[in-house]
Structure 1
Amino acid sequence: MKILKFKETDTEEIVSLFYETVHSVNSKDYSQSELDAWAPRDEKESKMKSWEESLGQNITFVAKVNDRIVGFSDLTHNGHLDRLYVHKDYQGQGIATALVDMLESEAKILNLLEIDTEASITAKPFFEHRGYKIVCSQTVERKGVKLTNFKMIKKIKL
């Protein structure tokens, strides 16, 4: 596995990985209507445009195995870990850990005091294991469907 900086040419593969991951990995914790609201397939084209811009502005890393993107994560310059997704066939292989290690190293370089994220039910145990603390449970609405996630924060030791 290689961890590399995001390039614009990665966008289509990243967006596809996002849809696949949400609709497979997160299906154990969310209903089909929740998954469809979170990752509506009819928005894939518009998501490619908006994500290309935001991923390019954020600190974004991709994990590749045999030149195939198997995970990605990004961090805003003010310390919000926005996205962390690992391909369904590569779960439990240390990819999320490697990606978040890179983002946390970047946060130290930026002298950030903390990283916050909004973790799904599925991702919450991963973040807890890494020392992120739950601030609160949240309900967010997407396309009229309510989804539960968790506002979490980790203090960064400089």
Structure 2
Amino acid sequence: MSDIHVRVASWQKDIADLRRIRETVFIAEQAVPPELEWDSDDANAVHFLAFEGDYAIGTARLLPDGHIGRVAVLKDWRGLKVGDALLRAVIAEAERQGLKAQRLSAQVHATPFYEKHGFRIVSDEFLEAGIPHVDMLRESA
């Protein structure tokens, strides 16, 4: 792994990379129905792309209300701190925007990852797209 970096992405200019990653992770690997993956929030979200060199390998989005979502890293790059870099960038942008509370719905297996970044579970387990999730909250000082 070399030269991992994260930048804010443009939904219009970077849509091919954003779609490729999300379709691979959510639709192909996790069997999320396409109609649940794509929503009207994409147009108003701040999107992020993680790259190794110039190849996009991960994505996330931040909604205007502080909700973080669509965090996805391609399989070959998982476990290499790409998700950490993405989440740090999203949290930094949320705080820059003055969003003191960041929320997300985490797949249950990923809760330790989010807890490491200051999130705590604030709901009972529920199913979203057939996958067990919990709501999580992070509050900035």
Letter in 1 for 2:131: L
Map of 2:96 onto structure 1: 109
- Residue 137 of structure 1 aligns to a residue whose secondary structure is coil
Residue identity (%): 21
1:84 aligns with 2:88: no
Against the structure 1 CA distance between its residues 66 and 75, is the aligned structure 2 distance closer, same or farther, given a 3 Å change threshold?
A: same
- Structure 1 or 2: more helix by fraction: 1
1:9 aligns with 2:13: yes
CA distance in 1, matches of 2:48, 2:108: 23
Map of 1:29 onto structure 2: none
Q: Give the TM-score taking structure 1 as reference length.
A: 0.74
Q: CA deviation at 1:140?
A: 3.2
Aligned length: 136
Gaps of 5+ in 1: 25-34
Letter in 2 for 1:6: A
- Residue 123 of structure 1 aligns to a residue whose secondary structure is helix
Larger Rg: 1
Q: Deviations over 1:86-131 (max 9, x none)?
A: 1100011111111111111112112222101000023211001112
CA distance in 1, matches of 2:94, 2:13: 25
Q: Which runs of 4+ in 1 moved over 3 A?
A: 53-56
Q: Give the TM-score taking structure 2 as reference length.
A: 0.82
1:18 aligns with 2:22: yes
1:66 aligns with 2:53: yes
